[in-house]
Chain A
Amino acid sequence: MRALCFDRVTKTFEHHARRMLLRDRIAGLLRGTRGQRFTALSDVSFELAQGECLGLIGPNGAGKSTLLSLATGLAMPDSGRIEVRGRVASLLELGAGFHPDLTGMENVHVNAALIGLTRRELEEKLEEIIEFSGVREFIHEPLRTYSQGMSLRLAFSVAVSCNPDVLLIDEVIGVGDEEFRARCLEKIRAFQRDGKTILLASHSLELLKMLCQRAMWLERGRVVEIGEPEEIVAAYQGTRSDSAHSSAKTDVPTKRSARV
């Protein structure tokens, strides 16, 4: 069954440098006119079957995060169709909404409510969340006393607690120490065993190869290739080391196709 589908999705963003004058802004707001725009995603199509794990590869600014935001439903595409089936959990940025003055426990409650847990679900899972985070003894301390690693662990624990059907992950499993990374990996593997669909953006190519059945290479908002993770990663790494030796402005995909 199809769990997630992008059909010719294009997303552009407005350049913010201009149009700062109030009258321009009002005019733009009323008319809905669009100033100069930057294309973050261009004509992207792919599908994920239920239980599949797709890895997103690409340099910074390739559109990975934009793609995940669209799948999460945070922004609307300019054109194209997006379909997501089932409950979605997005691990886009751990600890969004965490407040330093609230205790760990209070932050868990706020965050759980935000990601859509009901009061009963949280009651059932609270123990598990605290156990998984490994910060039990500090759970009633204000978050500002936590180390960054500790608060990330707590955030991750809440984020994965909602039993999603589709999991969207943006470069967040590389956080924390070795032991916690291993736990995160184990958690994601458990999700895979349970037949959850996963879309994972990461710069950790080893991780992608390990977890994903397929990989998608994005470059400047376009899909370069979709296929076996091993091959895609190899091809991607090829262009990276290539461009490292050549001038910075070289058009990377051209370079690659020329080489193949």
Chain B
Amino acid sequence: MRSGRETAGSPASALPSASPPHTPPPETMTLAPSVFRKAWEGDYVFLFEQLILKDFKIRYRNMSLGVMWSLLNPLVMMGVMTFIFGGVVGGQRSRAFPVFLLCGLVPYNFFTGAWIAGTNSIIDSASLVKRVPVPRQMFPVAGVLSNAVHLLIQLALLFVMAWGYGYRPGVPWLWLPVIWALYIVFACGLSLASSAINVFIRDTRYVVESFNLVLFWLVPIFYSFSIIPPKYADVYQFNPVAALVMAMRNIVLDGIPPPMSLIRNLALAASLTMAMGWVIFARLKSRFYEHI
């Protein structure tokens, strides 16, 4: 089409010399933006695995305790809280208070860690977002999933403790993968939304961090559902983090399946959050490049 040399005879104010002479007049010149190119078609599983491994290795590579840190945090929290609420404040100590606490701490830890990692994921991967046409959703989702690795370690700790206190797995334990899968979808949805917004409003991460602090008190970690007055029940009713804590205690401590209404609400929250996060992300992602 344009193989020969085209001369630049016009002054700088009118420089469309690269367009052929029959270029339509300016008012019809703008073409609705469109891009026809193959989408990134790599190996999603391989990439997820690599991103998660990378995250995991970076976090622990230079630590002498290595992966023990994943265990240390819940262990210390469990110890302190057992001391405070079981000894100093006293009063509500159940038979297996440490396991009771872990059932609250593990879901809470996972949620906060995953949400923060997800929120920062796009900004943290700025060099990749600007250079590699990988689907952008990969970053927040990988951020959440790499926290799922820590989750597995902490769950193992919880199960070992439960075993030590004489709790044995039963049929209700089959619900564990279901509630955790829904919970992870919920975290992914939230992270998609917050990571995209964080690109444009960098304060988002501090909002998330503050929210997580508040959440610690709004989730029955060191108290049980039974002490919550009915008029405040709504605060917990639609809180997926609280739902997971409750379900964990049902399954591990009481040996009963979680109430069907809880599963339904959790599934509803997970799918709605995911849909919302996906839409927000899809709407904003085309402008990441310019704002990062």
Q: Which residues of A contact B (CB under 8 A)?
A: 7-8, 10, 13-14, 22, 25-26, 29, 43-47, 69-88, 90, 92-93, 96-97, 99, 101-102, 106, 109-110, 113-119, 122, 214, 216, 219, 222-228, 231-232, 251-254, 256-257, 260
B 23-48 to A, binary, CB cutoff 8 A, 1 in contact else 0: 10000011111111110111101110
- The answer on a CB contact under 8 Å between B18 and A260 is no
**Contact pick for A227, options B6, B10, B35, B200, CB 8 Å:** B6
How many whole Å from B143's CB to the nearest CB in chain A? 15
- The answer on a CB contact under 8 Å between B36 and A81 is yes
- The answer on a CB contact under 8 Å between A78 and B33 is yes
Interface membership of B8, Cβ < 8 A = yes
In the assembled complex, the Cα of A93 lies from the Cα of B129 at a distance in Å of 12
Interface membership of B230, Cβ < 8 A = no
- The answer on a CB contact under 8 Å between B36 and A102 is no
A69 and B289 in contact (CB under 8 A), knowing A102-B57, A119-B43? Answer: yes
- The answer on a CB contact under 8 Å between A88 and B46 is no
Q: A97-B132, A110-B50 are in contact. List 12 more A-B contacts (CB 8 A).
A: A77-B35, A80-B33, A82-B35, A88-B133, A92-B131, A99-B54, A101-B62, A113-B42, A114-B134, A118-B46, A224-B17, A225-B8
How many whole Å from B57's CB to the nearest CB in chain A? 6
A26: chain B residues at CB < 8 Å are: 201
How many whole Å from B95's CB to the nearest CB in chain A? 45
- The answer on a CB contact under 8 Å between A113 and B16 is no
- The answer on a CB contact under 8 Å between B33 and A44 is no
B35: chain A residues at CB < 8 Å are: 70, 73, 76-77, 81-84
B16: chain A residues at CB < 8 Å are: 43, 222
- CB-nearest residue of chain A relative to B136? A74
**Contact pick for A216, options B18, B36, B58, CB 8 Å:** B18
In the assembled complex, the Cα of A253 lies from the Cα of B34 at a distance in Å of 30
- The answer on a CB contact under 8 Å between A97 and B127 is yes
